[in-house]
Amino acid sequence: MNFIDLQDLSSKYTVQEVPPLVCYIPNFITKEEESDITQKVNSAPLPKWTQLSHRRLQNWGGIPHPKGMIAEEIPKWLEVQIDKIAKLNIFDKDKRPNHVLINEYLPGQGIMAHSDGPLFHPIVTTISCGSHTLLEFYKRHETDKVESPKREFSLLLEPRSLLILQKDLYHDYLHSIDERSTDLITKCDIKNLNMCSHNYNEGEILERSTRLSLTIRHVPKTSKLKLKFGK
């Protein structure tokens, strides 16, 4: 990937027709980098994995917690990607990313609508490896009423792409991945198709395979001391 300057980031890579701010960069990493990341993730020792009901994940840099994250060393192969993102200058100098969450999604797996929350600096960057996915966005409703959120729009995340969310898209919207094995291309719903590395046809069906997402963020509250996380 060639060097990206701030002007390109704010113009060429900003997704239009959605609330501010989301940037989408196709082919942010190379196929060789993708292969290396996949190999490193899959060769991690079994205790590094946390098994959830619908997916499994790895935390690198520590476990975020309201009392503070105990900072842990991040391996070189992830520091390389952190360096590339830091060079985009979207994070302040004192807000260098210090945490990487790796989610593994098998075909048919997803994640419920959520926001990244107050434990993180309000910028989230995600590298996709292995497979595409559709990321769905919902407007957050500050109400006590029980109501199903209405999907506002979708983004197609291709393998090797980088997604950057901040401002309104971080604070005021939830995002999710539906639990399905295929995705349907609908140009009226997917707002970044014109920015993707391939041309997609209306009604085209994309088959999911195993996807690894690297969510790279800054955790402001950290500690080098062991904290007691009990009640």
Domain assignment of residue 178, yes or no: yes
User: What's the confidence (pLDDT) of residue 229?
Assistant: 44
Looking up residue 102, the CATH number of its domain turns out to be 2.60.120.590
User: What's the confidence (pLDDT) of residue 116?
Assistant: 86
Domain assignment of residue 188, yes or no: yes
Domain assignment of residue 1, yes or no: no
Domain assignment of residue 135, yes or no: yes
User: What's the confidence (pLDDT) of residue 46?
Assistant: 94
User: What's the confidence (pLDDT) of residue 208?
Assistant: 98
Residue-by-residue pLDDT tens, the chain, 231 positions: 555 665 667 789 999 999 999 999 999 999 999 999 999 999 999 999 999 988 999 999 999 989 889 999 999 999 999 999 999 999 988 899 999 999 999 999 999 999 888 889 999 999 999 999 999 999 987 655 556 678 999 999 999 999 999 999 999 999 999 999 999 999 999 999 999 999 999 999 999 999 999 999 999 999 876 544 443
Give 197's contacts (C-beta < 8 A, 6+ positions apart). 26, 27, 158, 161
User: What's the confidence (pLDDT) of residue 231?
Assistant: 39
Listing from the earlier edge strand, what are the strands of the sheet with 211-217?
A: 22-25, 162-166, 123-129, 211-217, 99-105, 56-60, 49-51
Domain assignment of residue 228, yes or no: no
Domains: count for the chain: 1
Which domain range does residue 77 map to? 6-220
Secondary structure class of 188 (helix, strand, coil)? coil
Domain assignment of residue 191, yes or no: yes
Domain assignment of residue 61, yes or no: yes
> Rounded to whole angstroms, how far apart are CA atoms 188 and 181?
21
User: What's the confidence (pLDDT) of residue 38?
Assistant: 98
User: What's the confidence (pLDDT) of residue 119?
Assistant: 87
User: What's the confidence (pLDDT) of residue 141?
Assistant: 73
Domain assignment of residue 146, yes or no: yes
